């Protein structure tokens, strides 16, 4: 199995008039990253999200390529052998992934996209150059919260944002409780000692600038997912992280429409988590700059999210 660091994406806000992440979006396994939108220059008194150039350059391409699996399911006891015949042995169980889900029926369906469509893009595409890499709609997307440093009143905001993404993708998100797992850039997607025999759940948490220097200045969040594939099979997202700035959130919540704006930041990051990239259209929530007039997914965002919710089922993973 080979592993390459995941790709960054972030959301930024400049200093507020009243006062003054980290996961890392997976790119093409081929090493050719999806072209990011043009960087947005700073302008005063406008809240914005922007790419973090040093991180973008430092983490190029990568996912996890798993070895071809042995025959599934793994038998408990080998069958009885004829007298004098060699005793068959059970195939070795892989240690880099859980037992396969084996499910081929989607748990939900995305709603029809708006007829007008709109600007949208994807973090990563399959080898056909058209189909986006997505979460498996036949599996629950489980998520946990890391409560450390979470500002008061933000937990329900996060749950509401997750529910909105579930609604517009058809993916089934399930809250799996709380975790003390640290938010790091080299997170393993399979942690049986912590989470049991399954892919690690999506980890959502809050960090301070001291814990994560990437949240310095106007950066308020970062998110992305890790994709895996078996050999040259299709890639599928299996887990991810969302990191939010614990220092800037209380300040933002104290401002006019602050809760709606912070929710839009969380929605933007969850859009990255499920596979949306930035767009150049400022009418869309995935535009790399926050605007008070756009606090929910717009038509282009919804078109892309519907496609991400209709991805293929990968029962062998």
Rounded distance between C-alpha atoms, residue 228 and residue 139, angstroms = 15
CA-wise closest residue to 308 among 279, 261, 270: 270
Q: Does a structural domain hold residue 239?
A: yes
Rounded-to-integer distance, Cα 109 and Cα 313, Å? 12
Residue 247 pLDDT: 86
Pick from 69, 23, 13: which is nearest to 189 by CA? Answer: 23
Q: Is residue 158 part of a domain?
A: yes
Give per-residue pLDDT as tens, 192-228: 999 999 999 999 999 988 887 777 777 788 899 999 9
pLDDT tier, 66 (very low <50, low <70, confident <90, very high otherwise): low
Residue that has been written with the tokens 């939900």 in this structure: 108
What is the predicted pLDDT for the residue at 15? 38
Crossing angle of helices 258-274 and 155-169, in 10° steps, is 50
Specify the pLDDT at position 289. 84
Residues 6+ apart with CB under 8 A from 136: 101, 236, 237, 238, 311, 312, 313, 314, 317
Tokens of 85: 């015949």
* Residue 255 Cα distances to 45, 49, 260, angstroms: 13, 18, 10
pLDDT tens for each residue of 83-123: 776 766 655 677 889 988 788 999 999 999 999 999 999 99
Residue 290 has pLDDT above 70, yes or no: yes
Number of domains observed in the structure of the chain: 1
2 inside domain: no
Q: What are phi and psi of 242, to 5 degrees?
A: -130, 125
Percent of the chain with pLDDT over 70: 71
| 258-267 residue pLDDT tens | 899 999 999 9
Is the separation of the CB atoms in 62 and 3 below 8 Å?
A: yes
In a domain, 102, yes or no: yes
Is 112 a member of any domain? yes
Q: Is residue 36 part of a domain?
A: yes
Among candidate residues 144, 160, 141, the one with its CA nearest the CA of residue 262? 160
Does residue 145 belong to any structural domain of this protein?
A: yes
Angle at 246 between CA 186 and CA 216, to 5 degrees: 70
- For 210, the domain range is 7-65+98-309
Distance CA 243, CA 222 (A): 5
Contacts of 250 (CB under 8 A, 6+ apart): 151, 152
Does residue 182 fall inside a structural domain? Answer: yes
The CATH number that applies at residue 29 is: 3.40.390.10
């Amino acid at each position: 199995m080979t592993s390459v660091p995941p790709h960054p994406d972030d959301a930024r806000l400049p200093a507020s008039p009243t006062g003054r992440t980290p996961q890392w979006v997976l790119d093409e396994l081929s090493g050719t990253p999806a072209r990011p939108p043009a960087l947005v220059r700073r302008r005063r008194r406008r809240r914005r999200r922007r790419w973090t150039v040093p991180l973008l350059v430092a983490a190029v391409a990568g996912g996890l390529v798993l070895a071809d699996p042995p025959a599934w399911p793994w038998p408990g006891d080998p069958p009885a052998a004829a007298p004098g015949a060699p005793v068959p042995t059970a195939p070795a169980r892989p240690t880099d992934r859980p037992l396969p889900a084996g499910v081929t029926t989607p748990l939900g369906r995305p709603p029809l996209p708006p007829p007008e469509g709109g600007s949208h893009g994807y973090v990563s595409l399959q080898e056909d150059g058209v189909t986006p890499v997505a979460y498996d709609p036949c599996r629950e997307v489980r998520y946990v919260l890391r409560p450390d440093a979470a500002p008061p009143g933000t937990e329900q905001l996060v749950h509401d944002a997750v529910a909105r993404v579930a609604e517009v993708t058809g993916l089934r998100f399930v809250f799996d409780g709380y975790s003390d797992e640290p938010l790091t850039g080299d997170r393993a997607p399979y942690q049986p000692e912590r989470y049991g025999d399954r892919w690690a759940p999506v980890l959502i948490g809050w960090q301070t600038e001291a814990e994560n220097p990437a949240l310095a200045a106007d950066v308020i969040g970062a998110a992305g997912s890790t994709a895996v594939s078996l050999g040259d099979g299709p890639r599928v997202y299996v887990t991810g992280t969302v990191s939010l700035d614990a220092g800037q959130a209380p300040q933002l919540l104290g401002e006019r429409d602050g809760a709606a704006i912070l929710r839009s930041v969380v929605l933007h990051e969850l859009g990255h988590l499920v596979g949306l990239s930035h767009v150049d259209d400022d009418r869309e929530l995935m535009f790399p700059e926050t605007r008070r007039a756009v606090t929910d997914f717009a038509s282009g965002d919804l078109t892309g999210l519907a496609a991400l919710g209709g991805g293929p089922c990968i029962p062998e993973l």
